[in-house]
Amino acid sequence: MAELIFRQLFDTESSTYTYLLADPKTRAGVLIDPVLERVARDLKTLQELDVKLKFILETHVHADHITGADALRAATGAKVGIGAKSGVDCADFLLADGEKLKVDGFEITALSTPGHTAGCTSYFTSGMVFTGDALFIRGTGRTDFQDGSPERLYESIHKKLFLLPNDTFVYPAHDYNGQTRSTILEEKAFNPRAKTSISKDEFIGILKGLKLSDPKKIHEAVPANLKCGRSEAAR
Ligand SMILES: [Fe+2]
């Protein structure tokens, strides 16, 4: 089939990427990791590109921003999906490791990639992988909250993501340095935390040594995202 419709959208406040994928023929589409404050932009993009939103996928329960999933679901009737171990009960469906989601002319495969959170899931389709906060461009997600585990993140990166074809494009949930995409090969070679020459023990040492402050919105975002971004006031 012809190339997928693809857009990489950005939220400047949380440095979050939202991705739109759609079948060029039937116009059925998917949004990955929408941000609440950007729902109007997303709806406008869908309308302008004549895409009918079928699914909204979350890579994980985010701590730094509130998801636009529930608002988009209400506006479009799209179904919300998230990893089976995410701990949310607001989704329309859960995706287990290896499970495939059919979106008209293309398919998305869920890859369980825990470590940043226990329920993190990456999504692979058509030579692209959406890695959430597991693998960043030249970085990784942190592992110091939401049942994070540097051991598990190492396994997810090295035993799952790095087994994808080398030319697979890597699209993370965030970038803080103006980078937009990478490849599996580049990350194996140049990721300062996760390149293949770094041992598991070194990786764990690096992650445990990070002294990061909590995301500003963590106490607001996590409870809201466990409800797919539904605000208590709106219920
Ligand atoms: Fe995150």
Quote the tokens at residue 189. 């070679």
Using one digit for the tens of pLDDT, what is the confidence trace for 106-141?
A: 999 999 999 999 999 999 999 999 999 999 999 999
Report the share of the chain in percent with pLDDT over 70. Answer: 97
Q: Give residue 24 CA to ligand 1 midpoint distance, Å.
A: 30
State in Å: Cα 72 to ligand 1 middle: 20
Tell me how far the alpha carbon of residue 65 lies from the centroid of ligand 1, in angstroms.
Answer: 9
Q: In angstroms, rounded to a whole number, what is the distance separating the alpha carbons of residues 232 and 168? A: 40
Phi-psi domain of 196 (left: phi exceeds 0; alpha: psi -120 through 50; beta: other): alpha
The pLDDT confidence band at residue 1, using thresholds 50, 70 and 90, is low
pTM value is 0.96
Q: How distant, in Å, are the alpha carbons of 60, 72, 75 from that of 19? A: 14, 14, 18
pLDDT above 70: residue 96: yes
* CB contact burial 93-120 (16+ within 10 A = b; e otherwise): ebbeeebebebbebebebbbbbbbbbbb
CB 18 within 8 A of CB 33: yes
If you measure from the C-alpha of residue 173 to the centroid of ligand 1, how many angstroms do you get, rounded to a whole number? 8
Q: For 158-180, how does the pLDDT look when each residue is reduced to its tens digit (9 = 90+)?
A: 999 999 999 999 999 999 999 99
Q: How far is the CA of 143 from the centre of ligand 1 (A)?
A: 9
Using left for φ > 0, alpha for ψ between -120 and 50, and beta otherwise, residue 36 falls in: alpha
Helix (H, G, I), strand (E, B) or coil at 50: coil
d(CA 221, CA 217): 6
User: Which residue type sits at 104?
Assistant: D
- pLDDT band, residue 232 (cuts 50/70/90): low
CA of 141 to the centre of ligand 1 (A): 7
Q: Could you give the CA distance from residue 8 to residue 118 in angstroms, rounded to a whole number?
A: 26
233 pLDDT above the threshold of 70: no
- Ligand 1 centroid–CA 202 distance in Å is 22
Residue 126 phi/psi, 5-degree rounding, is: 40, 50
Residue 21 pLDDT level (bands cut at 50, 70, 90) = very high
What's the CA-to-centroid distance between 145 and ligand 1, angstroms?
10
